[in-house]
Structure 1
Amino acid sequence: MSLQERYPAYGGRGPADLRLGLGLGAVATIFMILRIYVRLRVNKFGTTALIWALVAWLLTTITQCFGVISILHGLGNRIAIVEEVGQLHNYLLFTWITVFFFNMAIPTGKVAVAAFLIEMNGQGNPKIRRSLIAVGAANIILSIPQILLAWFQCSPPNALWDPLRQDQCNHVTSVRYSYFIGAVAALSDFYLAIIPVTMLVPLRMDRKLKWGLSFLMGLGVFAGAAAIVRTWAAKFILSDDPSYGVGILFRWGEVEEWIVLISMSIPPVWPLFRPITKRFIKSAGYSRSPKNYMAYDKYASRGGSRHSWPDSRGHHHHFCFFCQGCIWYN
């Protein structure tokens, strides 16, 4: 029996949204597993960032699970079909539960990226550290009204998923705030994608490695683009065919959530792939001063937390846990 036969409200944009979300989710989950492996077996850096990433992954996974249920009950399909097969109640209930977890997953993902970049910055530029803390805090604080608005746009609140009491709901305030918080999310994604480049530029290292790492850590711009589209798509909540239009919002919300997790997980798992590309991108410091690397590795194994140290020649070295080698400042 096909999904269409088991769930008559399933259709429209729903199937494509379902495949896209599950595909991206599978990729993100693989990277999260690899990231845990790297933390346990390869190096001891990134614990705080990993914890935040796992929380973001959990919330995004819950969002995706309820999103799948919503799709099976009409999300992405025409509202007339959803009503005809008697699934309007289930569509409303599971869609708003999805929205609830989505509103928590998005800011948590931003905080996870900020935590990762803070640990990458180490004891470096304090202005960058403060700005990252501000970005993470702003996303959490400004998302609280959005989380609450989802449940207080109807009077009583349970009218939100009651097809017969939709006239007791006013989604205008929630949608307008979605535009604001969506703009904050998009700007945050762009900033979190660009700031690593400014952190890498001062470092003296192989050019291919520098641009490669900049590209990998800049993949968050795609999440920013997705945030812009899903913010624009929030208007469909107020349309005459919300279930079909919200399919666009959900699709780009999926892309934003999973891309954030994928892009933040690629650099930490780079040590696993470095041997494969060793002859293409190689840290200049690692190739020229392996003794310094071994000395630092010995120091780190004793519980050290510094990311940089001077050598006997006065060079200031910085440990790159992406490339598993040493680099130094100009």
Structure 2
Amino acid sequence: MMHPGHQLSYAMWAMVALVLVLVALRLYTRIWIVKFVGAEDYMYAWTGAFFLCFAVFIQISVQYGLGQNFWKLSIDESSNAIFWTYVANSFAITGNAMAKLSMGLFLLRVVQVRWHKTVLWVAVVVTAATSIALTIMLWNQTTPIRASWDPLRTPGTWNLRIQPMSVGLGVWSSICDFFFAIFPWVFTQSLPIPRREKFMLAGGMSLGIIAGACGITRTVVLSRLNVFNYTLNFVPYFAWAGAEIAVAMVCLGIPTLRPLYLKTRGFAGAYSSHGQNSHANELPRFVMYERKTSYLPPPAHDSKFSFSFSQRRTEDNVTKPAPVRQMKSRNDSLEDIISNYQDRDAGVIWIKKEVRVQKDVVEWPLRS
């Protein structure tokens, strides 16, 4: 019968394959379809790399004896097995925090209310600080340091108990998972969009509640472990630690693949016009008619199109716009939908007695 160490390594590599596929698909979507890569995308990719390192070092530890009875291993085997689990656990702690930071950075880019940003920054900073602190404490449990993974040959003094602190971080990690899952329901309620789209946006970003459930399970398992048979008893902890990161990566990756899904369905060239333009290949054009005024109206802010007005007047006292030469293609990703509805008035020119605006369209080829 396969011993627990081999079961753990097979499960790890299956999760690594899934995570790396999601990382590749997300980067492809952001680089080639959306044509924008944010800080949260880099953080997501680094999380995938850290998870790969976690699986590699777990595999090395299994080769030395992780998953077997500590008291049946040689001193060299048990020492090396514990040491490489320390290395793996460092990547697990950091990778878990990076997954949450990826979600936090995404939300910080789309929320507008000050207290929303403040709460998100607190969650991001506390998560990063506690993860760094726990990683440092993991490697400084004893004096000398080697005594923590080679206790049978290296006498030393234990400076702290890492297990209760790990349980505390696990509790905070689960709280963050649930917070990032619930928070989208708070700020999307203020968006002036149909209820169906609110459910779609908030639901897509709330899959992290599954990662929170894995975090709770990992924390409960860790609180009940007996450290005196480390190489055998800690296998479930590492399994749930890997599962928590993998599930978080799935929950973070799937919502961002919407543009890729639209491309496969033939909607890759969607523009965020919100029904103002019935043809996807038509670019709105505005013509300004000047009334009795000796000055130009204040420039209008528009986040979707660029306008260039010439200063020549025709016989009809009309100022005609110069031809628009370029337009940036936007795809229907989650942040696009949110930002479009938050700035839904950004493309409106407000008129105060001086001018009136007429909308026309000009043919414009879509870019793939």
> Shorter-chain TM-score: what band?
0.7 to 0.9
Comparing 190-199 with 200-209, greater Cα deviation is found at 200-209
TM-score by length of 2: 0.70
Q: 1:98 aligns with which of 75, 78, 88?
A: 88
* Higher RCO by CA contacts (8 Å cutoff, separation 6 or greater): 1
Give the 3 Å change call, closer, same or farther, for CA 167–190 of structure 1 in structure 2: farther
Q: 1:301 aligns with which of 307, 310, 328?
A: 328
Give, as a single letter, the amino acid of the residue that structure 1 aligns with 2:137.
L
Comparing 234-243 with 40-49, greater Cα deviation is found at 234-243
| Deviation of 1:199 (Å) | 2.9
Asked if 1:288 corresponds to 2:279, the answer is: no
The CA deviation string for residues 209-260 of structure 1, in whole angstroms up to 9 with x for no partner, is 5434433321111111111121222235543322222111101100111111
The CA deviation string for residues 115-172 of structure 1, in whole angstroms up to 9 with x for no partner, is 0122233xx2222222111111001112222111111112211223325247636486
Name the residue aligned to 1:258: 246
Distance in 2, Cα, partners of 1:196 & 1:62 = 31
Distance in 2, Cα, partners of 1:245 & 1:52 = 32
Give the 3 Å change call, closer, same or farther, for CA 80–208 of structure 1 in structure 2: farther
Asked if 1:227 corresponds to 2:215, the answer is: yes
Larger Rg: 2
Distance in 1, Cα, partners of 2:195 & 2:262 = 15
TM-score by length of 1: 0.78
Give the 3 Å change call, closer, same or farther, for CA 84–30 of structure 1 in structure 2: same
1:96 alignment partner, SS class: helix
Distance in 2, Cα, partners of 1:20 & 1:211 = 33
Instruction: Say whether the 8 Å CA contact 2:205–2:252 is kept in structure 1.
Output: yes
Q: How many residues align?
A: 297
Distance in 2, Cα, partners of 1:297 & 1:43 = 14
Asked if 1:74 corresponds to 2:65, the answer is: yes
Give, as a single letter, the amino acid of the residue that structure 1 aligns with 2:48.
W
Q: 2:150 aligns with which of 142, 150, 162?
A: 162
Q: How does 1:210-221 map to 2 (within 5 A)?
A: 210-221=198-209
Name the residue aligned to 1:42: 33
Instruction: Say whether the 8 Å CA contact 1:220–1:260 is kept in structure 2.
Output: yes
Distance in 2, Cα, partners of 1:18 & 1:204 = 48
Distance in 2, Cα, partners of 1:118 & 1:176 = 32
Give the 3 Å change call, closer, same or farther, for CA 169–224 of structure 1 in structure 2: farther
**Which residues of structure 1 form unaligned runs of 5+?**
5-10, 315-330
Q: How does 1:238-277 map to 2 (within 5 A)?
A: 238-274=226-262
Instruction: Say whether the 8 Å CA contact 2:90–2:135 is kept in structure 1.
Output: yes
Give the 3 Å change call, closer, same or farther, for CA 263–169 of structure 1 in structure 2: farther
Name the residue aligned to 2:362: none
Structure with a larger share of its residues in helix: 1
Distance in 2, Cα, partners of 1:130 & 1:111 = 14
Asked if 1:111 corresponds to 2:98, the answer is: no
1:257 alignment partner, SS class: helix
Q: 1:19 aligns with which of 4, 7, 10?
A: 10
Give the 3 Å change call, closer, same or farther, for CA 197–100 of structure 1 in structure 2: same
| Deviation of 1:297 (Å) | 4.9
What is the aligned-residue identity percentage?
20
Give, as a single letter, the amino acid of the residue that structure 1 aligns with 2:275.
R
Name the residue aligned to 1:318: none
